[in-house]
Amino acid sequence: MGLKEKILYKLMGTNEEIETIYKQKGHCNEWVEAYKNGHPKMKVMDKLTLADALVSLEKFDEAEALLESVNVGITADDITKGTYFLVLINLYIGQNRAADALAILEKHGKFLNIFYSAPAYQRMGGAFYDSAAVVLAMNGYHDDASRYYELEKQWAVKYDKTGIYPMITNVRLLKLVGNEEAAQNEAETARNYINNYNGLDMPWQKNSFLKMLDKALN
């Protein structure tokens, strides 16, 4: 690895081993261990990056402990707050703590909407719109959930070349509103699309999308 790559990895808060595992396998137990070993003295964003991965792996207790170790006070910068609140919402979604997730969204929703629509961070906005839609649907606010779903679809036109993320969100929202038949039909359409899509960047992504789709139905 050349000096340029070493500098780039350092700026990104990662290293060659972590990046190699991610490219080959995505977030997995091996990646988690490599990330921990590569960050013996974690900074705030290191903790949030790890917590986000742990949530995706359904290691909720460990993710929650990490988040509890992060101090997000009035002096925290916007990227710390924006990342922290989204990871926390996703943790609560994963734990099926609908009311807790809604409380975070209601308290910090104005900030999160502004943050994830800002030019510097709107590339990450799809994850927020998806989570907000799911939280609202979990709590019975289906019209509000639909509005965030529309924002996710608009985001996807610009930032999601696959078009898969809104398809999965749609399945989950249909399931949460109680329309089982439509959810199953849309899931089958999405599954066929994913299986036949050949434009993914990394080999693990197809299986990851299929797992997300199955989870949306449960």
pLDDT digits (tens, 9 = 90+) for 143-193: 999 999 999 999 999 999 999 999 999 999 999 999 999 999 999 999 999
For the record, the structure tokens of 101 come out as 């997730």
Phi, psi at 120, each rounded to 5°: -70, -20
User: 26 versus 15: which is more confidently predicted?
Assistant: 26
Contact 43, 14 (CB under 8 A): no
- Residue 141: which residues within 8 A CB-CB, separation 6 or more? none
Per-domain residue ranges of the chain: 1-39
Please, what is the Cα angle at 121 between 117 and 127, to 5 degrees?
80
pLDDT at site 114: 97
Phi, psi at 64, each rounded to 5°: -65, -40
pLDDT at site 127: 97
For residue 71, what is the DSSP state?
-
Listed residue (101, 100, 132, 104) closest to 116, CA to CA: 132
pLDDT at site 103: 98
Q: Is pLDDT above 50 for 7?
A: no
Residue 105 to residue 84: CA distance in whole angstroms: 12
pLDDT at site 10: 42
Judging by beta carbons within 10 Å of its beta carbon (0-12, 13-18, 19+), is residue 178 exposed, middle or buried? exposed
pLDDT at site 6: 35
Contact 95, 58 (CB under 8 A): no
The residue type at 74 = I
pLDDT at site 4: 31
Residue 130 to residue 169: CA distance in whole angstroms: 6
pLDDT at site 2: 39
pLDDT digits (tens, 9 = 90+) for 23-60: 999 999 999 999 999 999 999 999 999 999 999 999 99
Of the pLDDT bands very low, low, confident and very high (cuts 50, 70, 90), residue 74 is: confident
pLDDT digits (tens, 9 = 90+) for 189-216: 999 999 999 999 999 999 999 999 999 9
Q: Is pLDDT above 50 for 3?
A: no
- Residue 207: which residues within 8 A CB-CB, separation 6 or more? none
Of the pLDDT bands very low, low, confident and very high (cuts 50, 70, 90), residue 14 is: low
The residue type at 128 = F
For the record, the structure tokens of 139 come out as 């709590």
Q: Is pLDDT above 90 for 1?
A: no
